[in-house]
Amino acid sequence: MLVQLQELDTRLSQLSHRYATLPEHQQITEVQGEEVRLGEQLDTVMIELKVLRRSQIDREAEVQGLEDKIAKSTSALYGGEITSPKDAVAMQSEIESISRRQAVLEDQIIEVMEQIEPFALEEAGIEAQRSVGGETLRDLEEQLAVAQAEIEVEQRAVNTERAQLEEHAGEDLVALYDRNRNRMGDHTAVGRLVGSSCGACFLGISAVEIDRIRRLPSNEPSECPECGALLIR
Ligand SMILES: [Zn+2]
């Protein structure tokens, strides 16, 4: 009975260990680490993108303002508002100067857009990786929950079995066993007497001790004089 109890406790220890060391824990940590790294990478890219996009927007707004100015001047020029040829020439030259400024700005906008492109591609790439990472994380968390639930079912079954066994073994024996197990650990709390050797520490027990142990009533527990394990005989 003690051997069975010990086996159940060993299984419980193994289950707890398996629960704590499920591979999903490590995998989740890795995916989360990757997520942090991608987030930092994205922050860096976004700083560049923000500056470039701002510069594009500012230039586009300026171009819009110049276009409005040109339209206004052109309509004044050809709408008959300006009658003096000298004023007309001056206005014509102003329109040309604004157009040149507009052309410069438009070239700059194209340049800025070309600068934006690789960063935008990088941004999209990082977002794609993050989305894959997010899915992987959800899958792993599901797998982990399933694996944990399976172990919990097993733990409950073993605990039920152990409770029944405890009832059969009686309080005194279980208390003795528990005390030994706390002191010695799962594998060595109980030893089977093999010939004149203890199954827990494998040491030989003296003939006198063996004789004394064999004389004990069968319901009285005996301990190995060498290691203290409960001897099954
Ligand atoms: Zn022993």
Question: What CATH number does the domain containing 33 carry?
Answer: 1.10.287.1490
Distance 5 CA to ligand 1 centre (A): 18
Same domain, 179 and 143: no
Task: Give the pLDDT of residue 80.
Answer: 79
Distance 186 CA to ligand 1 centre (A): 14
Q: Burial of 61 by CB count in 10 Å (0-12 exposed, 13-18 middle, 19+ buried)? A: exposed
Averaged over 59-82, what is the pLDDT?
92
Distance 189 CA to ligand 1 centre (A): 9
Task: Give the pLDDT of residue 150.
Answer: 98
Contact at 8 Å (CB) between 114 and 52? no
**Structural domain boundaries enclosing 218:** 173-232
Same domain, 48 and 96: yes
pLDDT digits (tens, 9 = 90+) for 115-150: 999 999 999 999 999 999 999 999 999 999 999 999
pLDDT digits (tens, 9 = 90+) for 6-40: 889 999 999 999 999 999 999 999 999 999 999 99
The conformation of residue 204, written as its DSSP 8-state character, comes to B
228: phi > 0 → left, psi -120 to 50 → alpha, else beta; which? left
Distance 188 CA to ligand 1 centre (A): 8
Task: Give the pLDDT of residue 29.
Answer: 97
Of 169, 191, 213, which one is at a domain's C-terminal end?
A: 169
Same domain, 125 and 63: yes
The conformation of residue 217, written as its DSSP 8-state character, comes to -
Same domain, 143 and 219: no
Distance 168 CA to ligand 1 centre (A): 25
43-52, 160-169, 170-179, range with the lowest pLDDT: 170-179
Q: How many independent structural domains does the chain possess? A: 2
Same domain, 78 and 192: no
Give the list of residues 6+ apart from residue 166 with CB closer than 8 angstroms, or none: 5, 174
Distance 171 CA to ligand 1 centre (A): 23
Please report how the helices 23-78 and 85-169 are oriented relative to each other, as an axis angle in degrees rounded to 10: 170
Averaged over 221-232, what is the pLDDT?
88
Contact at 8 Å (CB) between 5 and 189? no
Same domain, 23 and 103: yes
Averaged over 63-78, what is the pLDDT?
93
Distance 229 CA to ligand 1 centre (A): 5
Distance 197 CA to ligand 1 centre (A): 8
**Residue 132 token pair:** 């894959």
Asked if pLDDT for residue 187 goes beyond 70, the answer is no
Model pTM score: 0.68
